[in-house]
Each structure stands twice: as structure tokens, then as C-alpha cells.
Amino acid sequence: MLAQDPLPVSAINTTPQVQVDGLNKWFGALHVLKDIDLTIRAGTRMVVCGPSGSGKSTLIRCCNGLEPFQKGTIQLDGVALGRNARETATARRLTGMVFQSFNLFPHLTVLANCTLALRRVFLKSGREAEEIAMQHLTAVRIPEKAQAYPAQLSGGQQQRVAIARALCLNPRIMLFDEPTSALDPEMIKEVLDVMIALAKTGMTMVCVTHEMGFAREVADEIVFMDEGRIVEHAPSKDFFSAAAHPRARLFLDTILSH
Ligand SMILES: Nc1ncnc2c1ncn2[C@@H]1O[C@H](COP(=O)(O)OP(=O)(O)OP(=O)(O)O)[C@@H](O)[C@H]1O
Ligand SMILES: [Mg+2]
């Protein structure tokens, strides 16, 4: 599908933005997502947390088409993922993803990292792609590093470039998978500040993180996963004041006591 093709009518102005119904996924014999139902409305800031191995990464990777799944449905703005290649490509264009390990191309400058998909996938001219990239590099407060290579940047700077790169493609939903957990403590704040600023723009955000300060400040809703299931999904203030599930309470007690 070409960048200039219009989105299907069903993709325009429909809420919820993400609708997951009866999602099940196995890696071989390992059942890693079990009967997941989740609705994410436009503008929601959702934090997903839970113990290691509970399926958080797998869930958000399924939501942007990086992982196939065997049962259930995922719709992004009304477009189904996984039904056929065309719809999957359309749905994927709605999401931007930021990973723990930045995933920048090491042989490309910061600017070239940001313009690559704009030029190759969205068929923008070099000049237009650079203008868009510089806008987003400015928004993440790193325009002066446009000509640097990833290895010349700190981890926090690299992650801010990764966020700018995802934003260049004008996603409607941003997915973050532990975006600060590979960073030294002094760099965590600069990345969280960029994410807080993004949240204020009204962007729909789904963030796997253990940064409970960020979750308290920014999230509207918290999803807590355990052993492949969503065992709690609550407004943020209710989750922090009175998580209902014993596993969630234990998780909070452990994480907040550190
Ligand atoms: N590519 C894979 N092949 C086989 N099993 C996998 C694969 N990726 C993940 N798993 C398994 O699926 C389960 C869920 O993994 P997932 O990475 O989604 O957990 P997580 O909640 O993100 O954990 P963490 O907090 O450690 O990142 C785990 O048991 C994991 O070992
Ligand atoms: Mg993970």
C-alpha cells in the first residue's frame, strides 16, 4: 500500500482506538497470552506493568503487528491486524514503537535514522523528510545531534532520537516497551520528560514500564498482567490506592519499597 492511499473509511474517526478481543498467543507449547480483552480509547495514557515473563512485551508487540497471534482479534482504529497483508499494513501505520534497546541503525546519522522511513515508505522528498525530522528532533530537545551517529550519543539521547523517529511517521498510537530500563538513572528523567510532554499533546500512549512515579503522574489507566492474563485494569488512582488483586498489591509493595 502506498503512503498516499487514503485510509479505509472504517479507519477514520472511530473509537476505541485499540480493541483487543479474546487474544491468545502461544510460543510453541507455551501459552503466553490468555483471553486478553482490552479497549484503549483515543487519548488514553495507559501503563502496563507486571512481573517478568507475564506477557507485557508480547501483548504490545501483537498490537503493532510485530508478533502473529493464533486466536482472537486486534483492531486499530477499526482496522483488523492479521487478517490480510493490506489491512495489517494499514493498521501498523497507525502505531509507533519505542524499544528498551533503542534499535537505531548504527551506520546512519540521527537525521538519516529519522528520515529513512519517511523517504522509503512515505515517499517524501529528502528536503521534506528532513524538515519533519528536525521538527521532531527539536521537540525531543536534540536538534544539535542531527549529524551525529548513535554511538556518539548517550543512552538517554539515543532513546530520545528513537522517540523522534517514531513520531516522524505521525502515528496515532505510541507504544513503549520499557523505554527507560536500559538507561543510567541520571538519563531516565530526560526520557520521561519527553514522554510527559508527548502525553500532554493528547497522544494515545501505551507504555510498559516499572516507573511508578511516571505512571502516577501521567497514566489514566493501569493494566497489571500476571502469567499471560490481565488480572487488573483500573483507573490509575484506584490502582495505586487500592489494587484489588493480591498479585498486583504484592507487586506494588515490592516496587514502591525500593
Ligand atoms: N520469541 C520467543 N520465543 C519463545 N518464547 C518467548 C519469546 N518471547 C517471549 N517468550 C516467552 O513468553 C513469555 C512472555 O514474555 P514477554 O517478553 O512478553 O514478558 P514480559 O512481561 O515482557 O517480561 P519482562 O518484564 O521480562 O520484559 C515468557 O515466558 C517468555 O519467555
Ligand atoms: Mg518485556
Burial class of 65 by CB neighbour count within 10 A (0 to 12, 13 to 18, 19+): buried
Q: Which of 13-22, 108-117, 247-256 has the lowest mean pLDDT?
A: 13-22
In the structure, ligand 2 is a single-atom ion and the residues with CB under 5 Å from it are 57
Ligand 1 site residues (CB inside 6 A) read 27, 30, 32, 50, 52-58
Burial class of 158 by CB neighbour count within 10 A (0 to 12, 13 to 18, 19+): buried
pLDDT surpasses 70 at 258: no
**Spatial distance between the Cα atoms of 197 and 140, rounded to a whole number of angstroms:** 9
Q: Ligand 1 pocket test: pick from 27, 64, 97 the residue with the most ligand atoms within 8 Å of its Cβ.
A: 27
Q: Ligand 1 pocket test: pick from 32, 33, 176, 223 the residue with the most ligand atoms within 8 Å of its Cβ.
A: 32
Q: What number does the ligand 1 atom closest to the CA of 51 have?
A: 25
**Spatial distance between the Cα atoms of 33 and 71, rounded to a whole number of angstroms:** 10
Name the closest-CA residue to atom 18, ligand 1.
55
Angle (CA) 80-61-69 rounded to 5° is: 55
- Predicted structure pTM score: 0.92
Q: What number does the ligand 1 atom closest to the CA of 178 have?
A: 27
Which residue would you say has higher pLDDT here, 230 or 3? 230
**Spatial distance between the Cα atoms of 92 and 18, rounded to a whole number of angstroms:** 12
Report residue 243's pLDDT band, with 50, 70 and 90 as the boundaries: confident
- Condensed to tens digits (0 to 9), the pLDDT of residues 29-74 reads 999 999 999 999 999 999 999 999 999 999 999 999 999 999 999 9
Q: Which of 77-91, 169-183, 191-205 has the lowest mean pLDDT?
A: 77-91
Find the mean pLDDT for residues 199-220: 94
Question: Which pLDDT value is given to residue 230?
Answer: 97
CA of 80 to the centre of ligand 1 (A): 24
Find the mean pLDDT for residues 89-106: 92
Q: What number does the ligand 1 atom closest to the CA of 28 have?
A: 4
pLDDT surpasses 80 at 139: yes
- Condensed to tens digits (0 to 9), the pLDDT of residues 184-195 reads 988 999 999 999
Phi, psi angles (nearest 5°) of residue 232: -150, 135
